[in-house]
Amino acid sequence: MTLRHLFPARARLAAGALLLLSAGACFSKRVTRIEPTAVTDLSGRWNDTDSRLVANQLVEQTLAAGWAKRYTDQHGGEAPTVIVGTFANRTMEHIQVGTFVKDIERALITTGAARVVASSSERGELRDERKDQQQYSRADTRARPGQELGARYALTGELQAIEDVDGRERVVFYQVDASLVDLETNTKVWVGQHKIKKYVERARFGL
Amino acid sequence: MTPNKLPQLAPTVFITALFAAACANPKRIDEGVLTVMRNGDRIEAPTRAVDAATTQSLESQIAGRERRDSLNAVAFGNCAPTVCASLGRGEIALGMTEAQVLAATRSTDIAWTARRSGGVAVLSPRDAEAGPRDAAGPVALVQLAGGTVASVTYREPQGLRTVSNASDANDANRTRAVALVKEGDALAAAGDFTAALDRYDRASVVNRADAELQYKMAASLDKLLRPIEAELRYRMFLNQLEIQKIDAQSNANAKLADAIARARERIIVLEKK
């Protein structure tokens, strides 16, 4: 008795479909939501973990430095005004510096240590809106022009990387430098730094 | 070993060299790498630092404002009308008390260092760069005699400017213009006529009737090979001199005699061009 006699055509078709389905299931996509604070290193390149490490360190350093308290004490309780400038990415990687810069900005605002004014890229839109209000808004609700706060300090910085590769091994070193510069005198009132070193080893066999 | 055996030994030498090269690997530095973070670890936000900073900044802002409010109360409590007006504008005025100086600069005593001897006190900012300022500019020094302000010195781009009487206070722009002319002279002497002209231009906005300034601008334009503008400036210089008055006050303006002669000479030359 042959296989054809044992299993009718319909049964064979169903078995084939089941086999295909189970094979497909092996390669299906799996998405899991994980905690944003979790360390997840996949490729060894700059990732969210590095960004958070840098943000935490720079926030701690800038809040502990005492420049804001000194200014506040000397100006009768008025917090200094800060503008966030450019953080240059001087690495070969595409790195979103905005993530940790926004974290520093948020820390300055939430602690009340400094007043942060809109950066040059944000100002254009705000000025357009204010200009628009002068023509179309009710007089008692218009935001007055010429009332912007001038920043006393500018927060700028840069990100650099050094890479060393040999066969399956790779070492990447990132250095983030941030500084707060007095806009009138160009004096640096605070300099923050954070360094990250990663050792990446690829498996001898594997995809 | 005879020289004719050397070719036979060549493979042996080559293999030996190959082995030697293989052994001479780059030196590995293994100091027992310390892993500081692994996949699955957690990075907590710097909550403690943020909380501490929030408390600290709140405390120092409240303390500063309270101190300023009490100073304002004292300052406005017994001020003469002119001093009160200056306080309202945020300007230090001659005759103000120490509390009024602090109120005018919106600062507290923490911002200043005071040296006192006899009836004289000198207040200078504790931090020269981010020190207190009034509506006129950053203050470098305040001198008090008998409890009231005798002179105020401002830190300005051209240097320090002292106000010790009422006319000085109104002459702030004139003092700046004089400093600009000096800067322009120095630049012209160094051969940078473009920069010199820029300083003279800025000074001429305040000192419009200064004939000597017109001459300096004309000379700079002349040196920059801008004959039309130079000629115009030479003419303005001569017009502003009011020649008839010069004849009457020849001695007073004798120092400009050379300049007049030179201006006339240049007008003739430039006209011919």
Indicate the domain borders of chain A: 44-201
ipTM above 0.90, yes or no: no
Instruction: Determine the pLDDT at residue B97.
Output: 93
Predicted confidence (pLDDT) per residue in B172-187, tens digit: 677 778 888 888 998 9
Q: Quick check: A198 contacting B, CB < 8 Å? A: no
Tell me how far CA of residue B78 lies from CA of A162, B56, B87, B97, B266, in angstroms.
66, 34, 12, 10, 63
Residue B34, token pair as written in the block:
């310390």
Of A64, A76, A185, the CB nearest to B107: A76
Q: What is the CA radius of gyration of chain A?
A: 28
CA proximity to B263, closest of B232, A27, B118: B232
Using the predicted structure, report yes or no on whether residue B32 has a pLDDT greater than 80: no
Using the predicted structure, report yes or no on whether residue A138 has a pLDDT greater than 80: yes
Instruction: Determine the pLDDT at residue B270.
Output: 85
Contact A152, A68 (CB under 8 A): no
Q: What is the DSSP letter of B45?
A: -
Lowest mean pLDDT among A146-155, B122-131, B139-148, B219-228: B122-131
Distance separating alpha carbons of residues B120 and A202, to the nearest angstrom: 76
* Choice between B273 and A86, residue whose per-residue pLDDT is larger: A86
pLDDT averaged over every residue in chain B: 83
Of all residues in chain A, the percent with pLDDT exceeding 70 is 92
Using the predicted structure, report yes or no on whether residue B25 has a pLDDT greater than 60: no
CATH topology of domain A44-201: Rossmann fold (3.40.50)
Choose, out of B33, B37, B50, B156, the residue to mutate when testing the contact with A (most A CBs < 10 Å): B50
- pLDDT band at residue B225, thresholds of 50, 70 and 90? very high
Instruction: Determine the pLDDT at residue B24.
Output: 59
CATH tag, B172-272: 1.25.40.10
- pLDDT band at residue B212, thresholds of 50, 70 and 90? confident
- DSSP strand E in B5-53: where? none
Exposed, middle or buried by CB within 10 Å (0-12, 13-18, 19+), for A66? middle
Residue A57, token pair as written in the block:
């360190």
Contact A180, A155 (CB under 8 A): yes
Alpha helices, DSSP H, located in B139-256: 166-170, 172-189, 193-206, 211-223, 227-241, 243-248
Using the predicted structure, report yes or no on whether residue B251 has a pLDDT greater than 70: no
In chain B, which residue's Cα lies nearest the Cα of A74?
B111
Predicted confidence (pLDDT) per residue in A11-47, tens digit: 778 877 887 776 666 667 889 898 888 888 888 899 9
Instruction: Determine the pLDDT at residue A163.
Output: 93
Of B42, B53, B58, the CB nearest to A38: B42
Q: Which residues contact B188 (CB under 8 A, 6 or more apart)?
A: B196, B216, B219, B220
Q: Quick check: A175 contacting B, CB < 8 Å? A: no
Exposed, middle or buried by CB within 10 Å (0-12, 13-18, 19+), for A86? middle
Residue B23, token pair as written in the block:
């052994």
User: Domain locations in chain B?
Assistant: 56-170, 172-272
Predicted confidence (pLDDT) per residue in B66-112, tens digit: 999 999 999 998 888 888 988 988 889 999 999 999 999 999 988 99
Instruction: Determine the pLDDT at residue A192.
Output: 94
Angle at B175 between CA B174 and CA B178, to 5 degrees: 85
- pLDDT band at residue B272, thresholds of 50, 70 and 90? confident
Using the predicted structure, report yes or no on whether residue B252 has a pLDDT greater than 70: no
Q: What is the pTM of this model?
A: 0.69
